[in-house]
Structure 1
């Protein structure tokens, strides 16, 4: 069985080096039935990432882009190179059996690659799977979720923790199914369990699943592309699972934190696209409540930002960036 690991990177040279070292180490621990190859798509980094890969990891397939084409398009570029055709529905004999989309700000622990691949090998009806994720300090990061609803939008946008007496209740809500979370007991166990989708930080898809539903939707520059992919797989009868026995550390958001408010806009552009594209899951009534909820949340956060500025806790240019981002999100669909 062949596994292709695809890593899309942008200006995270040191993290990418650590990621590749961990992937190579995990591959060496894999069973003999699993052959692992690695492709890095460098999205026109200017920190020496491509040169580092070429010099230190000559066995890795390096695709050095001349422009930043975004996370989704870059992954699709690699998938086409791997033999999945223009739209993903053509699979060349050379195409791998499994593909792992892996963020560069991750570190694969022990035989996580082999454990994910073994699950897919033993469960031929599974379309995709993902590992248990950890933050850098070892705490659990939820790596799989239920598809978002209005409650999740509200919990994301409204700073309810500031309201007296709600902080403890909010923490329970944030970790509950209302906020799309599966239980910690499931994540801290070893038994695989079904989820609506897993994070694109570490998403393993079967080659046959890609052929069944096509490539990632390039309408998502970044964010939500994994939700869309897993939803399409589920609709095709190819469910997604979490495999907590496989563990990966996720140094979350190092790439996107470089451009925080641009990332915020892209996140909401992708969310609006996802909600609009999947009308069965998000009918007309959902959107009637979504728009005022987003407006309320952004207005509330804007008011708090202005208050922080007035107290000298937020620089004027930071306030401007934040308010401009909120205005652009409202223009997108809020």
Structure 2
């Protein structure tokens, strides 16, 4: 699990892990990587009875780098990646484990994600492309792009890493996560490279996890939107042609623009948030994202020039 300044959610996540571990008949370990938090998260993780090891980073780094570090440190054949804002529901670990145990070609398996009110949240999709962007622009994404449907285990293109079980040997084969993706689209690229290497990815609806999704809330920091858009474009340029990448930019911006117009009359919608998505999508190299925020945070951690600490 990776945690960044979320002490309260971290405790809930660890509590859910403790409940799951009590039902398992195989050996497990729990690694918590704290991303230079300053809210007491390290102490919470260290004191929790579910925790095997806490990796306390002295500086903040990206999600892809953190997940890669955890996969390299882990000893198990299967490694469950969790966000600190995810809570496993009973039986989730067993269901994900069973899916990978019975399918040797599966490199990863993702849980069904639900919101705190119990409503299902999309958690598996087709890979981004000009075609999927067009389907989204035509409001056909729920039928043809979202793949987290049905009640049986099924192959999908990619699953969200908020609650994803990974076959460690497959992750090692492809070089773990690409750290050029600071956060967002890192799991999309990871699943794409797994499938390019001959593995496939499973959606496991029997495994459920509550996910406190931050991009779905009304007040989203601008840096999250910039980072989200930047890495979507990075994925497109890595795996597709420049023409496809630009097509996705314009189609996605159009979709957000329509949402911004609708938000002017619909209750509980923020048109400014959608307009920020429009500008960040069209110009992904502009603005400051979470990577710059982490760099700024790390600079504040450095002692002032000329100061000598004799402790």
TM-score normalised by the chain length of structure 1: 0.74
Alpha-carbon distance change, 324 to 106 in structure 1, aligned in 2, over 3 angstroms:
closer
Q: Does 1:10 pair with 2:4?
A: yes
How far apart in 2 are the matches of 1:301 and 1:214? 38
Of residues 173, 194, 202 in structure 2, which corresponds to 1:212? 173
Mapping for residues 65-84 of structure 1, pairs under 5 Å: 65-82=57-74
Given that 2:110 and 2:159 are in contact with CA atoms closer than 8 Å, whether structure 1 keeps it comes out as yes
Q: Does 1:182 pair with 2:113?
A: no
Q: Residue 29 of structure 1: SS of its match in structure 2?
A: coil
The unaligned stretches of length 5 or more in structure 2 are 287-311
Of residues 128, 140, 144 in structure 2, which corresponds to 1:148? 128
Indicate the residue corresponding to 1:88 in structure 2: none
Task: Give the superposition deviation at 1:204.
Answer: 0.9
Alpha-carbon distance change, 66 to 323 in structure 1, aligned in 2, over 3 angstroms:
farther
How far apart in 1 are the matches of 2:237 and 2:47? 44
Alpha-carbon distance change, 254 to 150 in structure 1, aligned in 2, over 3 angstroms:
closer
Aligned length, in residue pairs: 283
How far apart in 1 are the matches of 2:215 and 2:252? 26
Indicate the residue corresponding to 1:233 in structure 2: 194
How far apart in 1 are the matches of 2:243 and 2:17? 45
Query: Greater share of helix residues, 1 or 2?
Result: 1
How far apart in 1 are the matches of 2:38 and 2:216? 13
Indicate the residue corresponding to 1:133 in structure 2: 113
Of residues 214, 230, 233 in structure 2, which corresponds to 1:272? 233
Task: Give the superposition deviation at 1:259.
Answer: 5.5
1:15-51 C-alpha deviation (Å, 9 max, x unpaired): 1101101011111111x2x211111111122221111
How far apart in 2 are the matches of 1:261 and 1:28? 41
Q: Residue 106 of structure 2: SS of its match in structure 1?
A: coil
Task: Give the superposition deviation at 1:244.
Answer: 1.1
Indicate the residue corresponding to 1:26 in structure 2: 20
Q: Residue 233 of structure 1: SS of its match in structure 2?
A: helix
Q: Residue 234 of structure 1: SS of its match in structure 2?
A: helix
Q: Does 1:49 pair with 2:41?
A: yes
1:204-232 C-alpha deviation (Å, 9 max, x unpaired): 11011012111100001101111111111
The unaligned stretches of length 5 or more in structure 1 are 1-6, 83-94, 161-169
Of residues 241, 260, 264 in structure 2, which corresponds to 1:283? 241
Q: Residue 21 of structure 1: SS of its match in structure 2?
A: helix
Q: Does 1:106 pair with 2:86?
A: yes
TM-score normalised by the chain length of structure 2: 0.79
Q: Residue 272 of structure 1: SS of its match in structure 2?
A: helix
Given that 1:105 and 1:254 are in contact with CA atoms closer than 8 Å, whether structure 2 keeps it comes out as no
How far apart in 1 are the matches of 2:217 and 2:2? 13
Given that 2:45 and 2:51 are in contact with CA atoms closer than 8 Å, whether structure 1 keeps it comes out as no
Q: Does 1:194 pair with 2:151?
A: no
